[in-house]
Structure 1
Amino acid sequence: MKTLTIFTPTFNRASLLPRLYDSLKAQTNQNFVWMIINDGSSDNTDEVVKSFLEENILEIEYIKQKNQGMHGAHNTAYKNCKTELNTCIDDDDLAPKNAVELILDKWNSLGENQQKYSGIVALDAYFDGELIGSQFTTESTTLESFYLNGGSGDKKLIYRTEVMNQYPEYPIFEGEKYVGLGYKYLLADQDYQLATLNEVVCLVDYQPEGSSNNMWRQYYKNPKGFAFIRKEQMKICKSKKRILKDAAHYVAHSLKSKNGNFITESPRKFLTILAIPFGLVLYLYTLYQNKKQGGLYQR
């Protein structure tokens, strides 16, 4: 059995998949499975993936489902993953040719200490090689401590499959397609450290219509999902400044979803009350930004 699953949620991105496929074929270590999760695409994704399967070069698992959004695709990946490790590489990204080799070499170097870690956190870069954010200064970290201590930028997470399956799935809210992936990562942070790898294992190409470039639209169209993640973060986060920020966002998303019980449902009622003025401003600013951006690209 292979050690690593690279899973790729995809939605109407058939034109981009061959680029990622080529980067995976070029890997110096082929000890991985590529799991493609077709999240309700209406383009020719089936035909493109069929051509990959017919080449019979990579071990590919192809799963089709109704559109549930990125977090729903992650639920599917974790449920179906049979390897020790897993990581997500999006359909618009690439893997450097030594990505799998770097990941597995790092994992094997941990030896008997592997069980202490939820996995590995490594670096992302743009296609031109420019590093995204900062490097790591310690041998291990949690995501919360990394960012609270001045760390920055998107990072590539490689998790133990059994760890991800210890925690609840991402919730699915009717009519919404986005719940922050950080929910499960935050839960894992409470029980494990991540081993740090100061090597680039993913090259990122942020698409104009993608979530990273359209977060205000996501806020507008998925308020229940965002209220959920902010509420969960308020339960766990140790920084009062961060909790107040989460409370303001929680208020804004609750106003958008017309949840009149948001104070009684809050795990931090006093801070939530304090955050109401800030949440109201954020709610109004979300409305403004959504109108300014002219609608929603809904993944």
Structure 2
Amino acid sequence: KYTFVVKLTIFTATYNRAHLLPRLFKSLKRQGCFDFEWLVIDDGSVDKTTDLFEDFLKEELPFSIRFYTQENQGLIRTLNSGISLAKGCYLIKMDSDDYVMDDFVENICRWIDEIDSNKKIYAVGGLRVTAQGMPLKGKWPIIPKEGYVDASDIERKQYNLDADMTEAWRLEVLRRYPFPVWPTEKFAPEQIVTHQIAIEGYKIRWRAVPLTICEYQEGGLTLGASTLEKKNPMGYAMMYEQQLDRPDFSFQKKICSAMNMFALTMIGRTPSYYFKNKHKVIKLLAFIPGVLLFFRRIKQFVSNGG
């Protein structure tokens, strides 16, 4: 069904980041290996992003650029479009405020060759670091002497891998798990998918090697998580529901997840979603504290700007 023409698709969803994209473009041109395409979807920008790519596409480059524009649909729908359009065997989601090390593609391709025949390892990953070269969480990962650790997405914390990382995902796996978005919203946490893939037994081979340099921008998703939850309560309710299937979660943690799920379905005016048949006992026990949490969340959202 799909024709893979390169090893990597480096995918960037962008919105009003014309001032940052040249930095990423220059870092891609500095690579020593060019077995990749750069796939970019502009999600309704009103700046000079289209003009910028018209200039990029005039250059003679050792890699291909595919540039698309669309009306604003939000990151997750745009990510699904990128996964559908990708022509690489593996996909890397590259934020528009990141740029890459000079050996980025070379390292990723070498790591992929090591795991490509192991179908239960569906991705390879390395570090996103600050401009000063420090891990985003401030602590280096705990990596065995072999130089890597094979861990699922829900096992990351025990290895200090729970900060933002850079991963190259196997497309044939990723395409089986489309990222969900509630019909009336624009965002849901990516971990709904990455944790589901982990629950089903897939692992990532992680290394403590810097791959990308990250400088979070004002208005970005990471810095605006509370606003995202307020604007996308059902997207986050889906995340909390998925946590009820987590084998690593204690019963108490699952009660807390169900409480948050109920509160957010109430805020999203879709409480019927909470009362689906799955996890009946946990949801029943979480119902009353979930009602109390709902009123607390309403107060929090109002105090944070209505």
CA offset at residue 170 of structure 1? 2.2
Offset, 1:149? 6.6
The answer to whether the 8 Å contact 2:265/2:274 transfers is no
Residue in structure 1 matched with residue 212 of structure 2 by the alignment: 202
Partner of 1:137: 143
Equivalent residue, structure 2, for 1:220? 230
Counterpart selection for 1:170 from 179, 184, 193: 179
Tell me the TM-score normalized by structure 1: 0.89
Determine helix, strand or coil for the equivalent of 1:194.
strand
> How far apart in 2 are the matches of 1:47 and 1:104?
31
Residue aligning to 2:8: 4
Tell me the distance in 2 between the aligned counterparts of 1:219 and 1:5: 30
C-alpha displacement at 1:264, in angstroms? 1.8
Distance 1:260 1:166, change over 3 A: closer
**2: CA distance, partners of 1:234 / 1:81:** 32
What is the Cα deviation at residue 227 of structure 1? 1.0
CA distance in 2, matches of 1:192, 1:205: 30
Q: Could you report, residue by residue, the CA deviation over 1:169-224 in whole angstroms, capped at 9, with x for unpaired residues?
A: 22333331111111221222113211122211121111121111111111111011
User: Is the contact made by 2:40 and 2:65 (CA closer than 8 Å) also made in structure 1?
Assistant: yes
Contact 1:237 / 1:243 at 8 angstroms: preserved in 2?
A: no
Taking a change above 3 Å as real, the CA distance of residues 162 and 56 of structure 1, as seen in their structure-2 partners, is same
Compared CA separation, residues 14 and 120, structure 1 to 2 (3 A): same
Moved more, 21-30 or 258-267: 258-267
Instruction: Please state how far the C-alpha of 1:286 moved relative to its aligned partner.
Output: 4.1
Q: Structure 2 matches for 1:82-121, cutoff 5 A?
A: 82-110=87-115, 112-113=117-118, 115-121=119-125
1:214–1:283 CA distance, 2 compared to 1 (3 A): farther
- Flag the 1:263–1:187 CA change in 2: closer, same or farther, 3 A: closer
State how far apart, in whole Å, the 1-side matches of 2:101 and 2:209 are: 10
For structure 2, the residue ranges without an aligned partner over 5 or more in a row are none
Match of 2:197 in 1: 188
Q: Deviations over 1:100-152 (max 9, x none)?
A: 11111111233643x23111122111122111234143520101022367643
Distance 2:212 2:259 in 1: 33
CA distance in 2, matches of 1:71, 1:177: 7
Asked whether the 8 Å contact 1:219–1:226 carries over to 2, the reply is yes
Q: Distance in 2 between matches of 1:290 and 1:22?
A: 41
TM-score by length of 2: 0.87
Q: Classify the secondary structure of the residue corresponding to 1:68.
A: coil
Aligned partner of 2:30 in structure 1 is 26
1:146 paired residue number: 156
Which segment drifts farther, 1-10 or 23-32? 23-32
Match of 2:166?
156
CA 1:242–1:53: 2 relative to 1, 3 Å: farther
Distance 1:165 1:111, change over 3 A: closer
- 5+ residue gaps, structure 1, are none
Query: For this pair of structures, how many residues does the alignment match?
Result: 293
By how many angstroms is 1:30 displaced?
1.6
- Shift of residue 10, structure 1, vs aligned partner: 0.5
Please give the alpha-carbon distance, in whole angstroms, between the structure 1 residues aligned to 2:297 and 2:129. 29
Contact 1:106 1:197 in 2 (8 A): no
1:252 is matched with 263
Closer/same/farther in 2, CA of residues 284 and 213 from structure 1, 3 Å limit:
farther
- Structure 2 residue aligned with 1:126: 130
**Mapped contact 1:37–1:65 kept (Cα < 8 A):** yes
Over 3 Å counting, the alpha-carbon distance change for 1:136 and 1:37 in structure 2 is farther
Which of 179, 185, 188 matches 1:179? 188
Deviation larger for 41-50 or 130-139? 130-139
Offset of residue 27 of structure 1? 1.6
Alpha-carbon separation, structure 1, partners of 2:299 and 2:18: 33
Q: Which amino acid aligns with 1:70?
A: L
Identity of aligned residues (%): 25
Which has the larger share of helix? 1
Please give the secondary structure, in 2, of the residue aligned with 1:200.
strand
Describe the SS at the equivalent of 1:170.
coil
Indicate the RMSD between aligned Cα atoms, in angstroms. Answer: 2.2
Deviations 1:39-88 (A, max 9, x none): 12222211011111111324101122222211111101110112111111
Contact 2:141 2:159 in 1 (8 A): no
